[in-house]
Structure 1
Amino acid sequence: MSEEGTQQLVVPSQGPDLREQLPRIALKQPDEFTGRRDTVKRFITDTNDYFTNANVAPHRQLGLAKSFLCKELSDWFDLRVKRGMGFTDWPALREVLRCRYKEKHERRKARKQVLSLRCTGTVDDYNKEFSLLALKITNASEEDLVEDYIEGLPPGIMYETDRMEPATLDEAMEKALDSEIWLKQASSRSRSRWLRGPPSDLSPVIDPTGPAPMELCGVGV
């Protein structure tokens, strides 16, 4: 090591003359991983690149990767080994880190998407999109999901669905579909009546100054 975080790498050559001509390449080690969820992807990528560029043998990668972890995570690593839950190699550790520190970040992102999601097309399309996002929100309460779902519906459907007080997300989606159909049918009936115009009055026109119908019937009797 020439300085902290770097390693001098000598590129292999075929002869002493070529070796003397090739410069030494300083490879920067990955930054210490402290468990921040927004840095796990960068840490994994940097570690992969470092192992590749430094030609680190597979059997040495796991121990070297551990040295890139902060003290708390290094202790966590040792504890897993003591409990018989150690890692076979760097790829195994890499996947555990990816899953362990990805979930909350993805959940937060999905939560924001759910809150901003709005039904701009059919309720069926909205249901599909909402369901996919809801799967990414771990430990979310059914009540919160129902509330978030209803908030994204168009005003008319939102009112009808909320009025039915659905207890589960599936029930809310079903009620919203029913409300969409009902509102479309009501709108269609209203439009049909408007196109037909006011109903025609088929009763006979009575002249208020003339004789009553009963009087006409009595003429000539």
Structure 2
Amino acid sequence: MRAMANQAPAEEAIPISRVKISEPKPFCGARDAKALKNYIFDLEKYFKATNTVTEEAKVTLAMMHLSEDVKLWWRSQYADMQEGRCTIDTWDALKGELRSQLFPENVEILARRKLHELKYTGNIREYVKQFAGLMLDIRDMSEKDKVFCFVEGLKPWAKTKLYEQRVQDLTSAYVAVERLFDQANDSQDVRRHPSSSFERNKNNRLSSPKTAGGDKHFNGDRTSYQSNTRNSWRGSGNQNVSNRPFSCFICQGPYLARECPNKTAFNAFQASLASD
């Protein structure tokens, strides 16, 4: 008994009736497949959340969330129902009427034509967005055909990569192609980066203290500097050879050694050294 008394009371489940459920946004009747599908999707989730099960209640709630032009259309339909000229008494029937009025068959034909012409031109996310929008207008295409049409609109190198990955559904194809193009953009950035890095390193070397101390006569034109350096070295060597005075290595006189008057004495001295 004491153990049971010490146990914390179990948390009570909050009944669904006490949860505030947001109502769907009104549908204005725009001839936009995405807007119509979102309206139908939101209403069906709302029916489930509010436990709306009867067909009459579903039709009434759907009618209350119509606005502008489509509201006028519904009023004319309602008048015809009152006169017995038509019957829209189920949610499925109302969805069919909305699709026939706002989503005619020629919309799908136009979408298929646009799909045939759609090609990737430079922005992969824009291509994915346009393709996904066309898919909303085409209702009876298989998933395999969707993937094929999507991949065929890409550049040859991207098509090859996606076929190698063997993507099976459109969502996986979207993710794979965006990741593929992100990697390609990163690789291009890396290829461009080393050249900038090389220029920065080159400038750093030219302005480093070691270089500045060694090239004191360098004024920005390294070729001229090197040429001047070579010429000055060669010039100084040639000047030493051609302009310096002749000197005899025997007696240091101002003449060549072969003209030295002391040459005979020097030869005799060398002979005596050899005989010793």
Q: TM-score, normalised on structure 1?
A: 0.43
Higher helix fraction (1 or 2): 2
Structure with the greater alpha carbon radius of gyration:
2
Q: TM-score, normalised on structure 2?
A: 0.35
